[in-house]
Amino acid sequence: MNEKKRRSRPRPDGLISVPPPDKRKFRRLLLKWYARHGRDLPWRKTTNAYHILVSEIMLQQTQVDRVLPKYREWLSKYPTMQDLARAPLPEVTRSWYPLGYNIRPLQLHSIACESVARYGGTLPKDPERLLEFKGIGRYTAGAIRSFAFHEDAPILDTNVRRVLSRIFVVRPNGKNGRNSEALWRLSMDLIPRGRGYDFNQALMDFGATVCTARDPYCLLCPMQDFCKAYPFQANPK
């Protein structure tokens, strides 16, 4: 008796059922790509939670090449949470120029003050305590846990959302709450045990340099064999 070949069907949350071998292949190819093409960035040479926080706040809606000189300058002026907490707000705002989005230095200063008051100038790795800081959201908390404390914590910034959506999701442009939660679950599910740091850095680099928002490099992409968006991205109408 011949059985019909089973096909993946869209689920209500927009994800398809991806066979475990595809996920393992994705992990393997991504980490292999990252080993060859990962970017050399200064915040990847530290586990200082404050320094990583500074980089994450600066990188919000700002390109890496603009952040690099300001990151070094900022940490030269405010090397610790205590140094930033002691600084007057007008000086902190001036020190942020010309990055823009001036709510961000105020958030950093507020986090520094709370960190000094509650934790002696450190950041906790507990996700619930991290989320109590005004200015630390779900993504930033995951980044701190992953990059400072090397925990297998999921992240979902713009680059990661785009990569996961294109490769695994039926409706890649869906922005509803259910789809977002599904991507968070997928981000967690994909992390190889004990490799959260490298895997999350790889996801962000891949989205920033290969699976870009405009004109992605699909023909050079190692994921094209199983990427759900590849036929549409590589052959636009």
Question: What confidence tens digit (pLDDT) does each residue in 162-201 have?
Answer: 999 999 874 545 455 567 899 999 999 999 999 999 999 9
Confidence tier at 234 by pLDDT (50, 70, 90)? low
pLDDT tens digits for range 213-222: 999 999 999 9
What share of the chain in percent tops pLDDT 90?
76
> What local confidence, expressed as pLDDT, does residue 18 receive?
42
Instruction: Return the CATH number of the domain spanning residue range 48-147.
Output: 1.10.340.30
Catalytic residue among 3, 56, 73, 91: 56
The tokens for 137 are 């959201």
CATH for 20-40+155-234, options being 3.30.70.270, 1.10.1670.10, 3.90.1530.10, 3.10.690.10: 1.10.1670.10
Higher pLDDT: 98 or 232? It is: 98
> What local confidence, expressed as pLDDT, does residue 235 receive?
63
DSSP helix/strand/coil, 131: coil
Count of CA atoms in the C-beta half-sphere (13 A) of 166:
28
Q: Are 187 and 139 in contact (CB under 8 A)?
A: no
> What local confidence, expressed as pLDDT, does residue 228 receive?
86
Query: How many residues are listed for the chain in this entry?
Result: 237
Average pLDDT score over residue span 50-74: 96
Confidence tier at 129 by pLDDT (50, 70, 90)? very high
Average pLDDT score over residue span 60-83: 96
> What local confidence, expressed as pLDDT, does residue 179 receive?
79
Amino acid at 167: I
> What local confidence, expressed as pLDDT, does residue 67 receive?
97
Confidence tier at 27 by pLDDT (50, 70, 90)? very high
Query: Which residues face 15 on adjacent strands?
Result: 169
Asked if pLDDT for residue 120 goes beyond 90, the answer is yes
Query: Which residues face 169 on adjacent strands?
Result: 15
Asked if pLDDT for residue 64 goes beyond 90, the answer is yes
Confidence tier at 8 by pLDDT (50, 70, 90)? very low
Asked if pLDDT for residue 13 goes beyond 70, the answer is no
> What local confidence, expressed as pLDDT, does residue 144 receive?
98
> What local confidence, expressed as pLDDT, does residue 171 receive?
53
Provide the terminal-to-terminal Cα distance of the chain, rounded to the nearest Å: 42
Task: For the chain, give every domain's residue range.
Answer: 20-40+155-234, 48-147
Residue 15: φ, ψ to 5°: -90, 155
20-40+155-234 and 48-147 have identical folds: no
Q: Write down the pTM of the prediction.
A: 0.86
56 tagged catalytic: yes
Average pLDDT score over residue span 200-204: 97
